[in-house]
Amino acid sequence: MSESRILLYYRFTPVADPTAVMLWQRTLCKSLGLRGRIIISRHGINGTVGGALASVKTYIRRTREYPGFHDMEFKWSAGSAEDFPKLSVKVRDEIVTFGAADDLEVDEHGVVGGGVHLSPTQVNDLVAQRGDEVVFFDGRNAMEAAIGRFRNAVVPDATTTRDFLAELDSGRYDELKDRPVVTYCTGGVRCEVLSKLMLDRGFGEIYQLDGGIVRYGEQFGDAGLWEGSLYVFDRRMHVEFSEDAAQIGHCIHCGEPTNTYRNCINGDCRDMVLICDDCVADPSTAHCGRQECREYASTAAAAVNGSTITSG
């Protein structure tokens, strides 16, 4: 089997013609057999693609030929094109959808007026110096944070990135406005926007974890301030940084630790929920918890038990 990799990358930079960049990227990825998801806006590019090692190397070299992307960093991880259902390359208003396209200004250095970038080591130093005063603020959806987060992190009540503006404006986090806040997300892209939105709303001391959880995990594994699994938006679902990773998620049925999201047994239900191996193996507890799905599961369980008796 030939070697393959997944790349994670973004760059905030003015893109004069997003459609032209989209068509170029789509053609490039197709020619290299890459799959994944790339979003381009007038503010930059955000992507994750997988493919053969030689192909992703070529992809990086060719993508950096675009002037605004020449110094873009690429994070590597294990995986392949098969971890993605298809190739999707699109133009959108935002490369991460906060619903704040008009609040964002970018120049050749990135987001204008964003938070202070801290390397993983600098984040540890900040916490060592200022202790519990420092607050980690999760820039991801609550579902992602449920299986892994920084120690004592604040996790906003967000189902999608679009929920953050309302969360910030709710007043719920106003007590953090005079504390040092470290925003973090998977690869760093969401915090670029989140930090700017927080600074605009009167948060006084905003830092952002450069390279996101991915880079922090590469450097410190499970021996630093990170706890649990990293949720990822591809077939892998979650990754761990070492064999020592804590399981901080819990099965919604029995409470046992788990880091695996499952589809509800009801095929019409789109919910993904944390269910442990034992509970998912039993049809009566393979549901998401909603009443109609609970009833669906009971019926399914009765059918299975009925067939067991018949065959027995």
Nearer to Zn ion, 61 or 270 (CB): 270
Minimum CB distance to Zn ion smaller for 7 or for 293: 293
Nearest distance in Å: CB 159, Zn ion: 15
Cβ neighbours, 10 Å, residue 133: 12
Q: Of 106 and 276, which CB lies nearer to Zn ion in the complex structure?
A: 276
Q: Which two tokens stand for residue 5?
A: 């990799």
Q: Please list, in sequence order, all residues whose beta carbon lies within 8 angstroms of the beta carbon of residue 270, skipping any fewer than 6 positions away.
A: 264
Report the residue number, 232 or 275, with the smaller CB distance to Zn ion: 275
Residues 88-107 that bind Zn ion (CB under 5 A): none
Looking at the DSSP bridge assignments, the partners of residue 37 are 48, 88
Q: How far is the CB of 303 from Zn ion (least distance, A)?
A: 17
Number of residues that bind Zn ion (CB under 5 A): 13
Which residues of the chain form beta strands (DSSP E)?
4-12, 35-41, 44-52, 74-78, 87-91, 106-107, 110-111, 116-118, 135-138, 148-150, 180-184, 205-209, 226-228, 230-231, 238-239, 261-263, 272-274
Classified as helix, coil or strand, 68 is: helix
Length of the chain: 312
CB of 194 to Zn ion, least distance (A): 30
Residues of span 237-296 touching Zn ion by CB under 5 A: 251, 253-254, 256, 264, 266, 269, 271, 276, 279, 288, 290, 293
**Could you confirm whether 288 is annotated as catalytic?**
no
Residues involved in catalysis: 185
Q: Which residues bind Zn ion (CB under 5 A)?
A: 251, 253-254, 256, 264, 266, 269, 271, 276, 279, 288, 290, 293
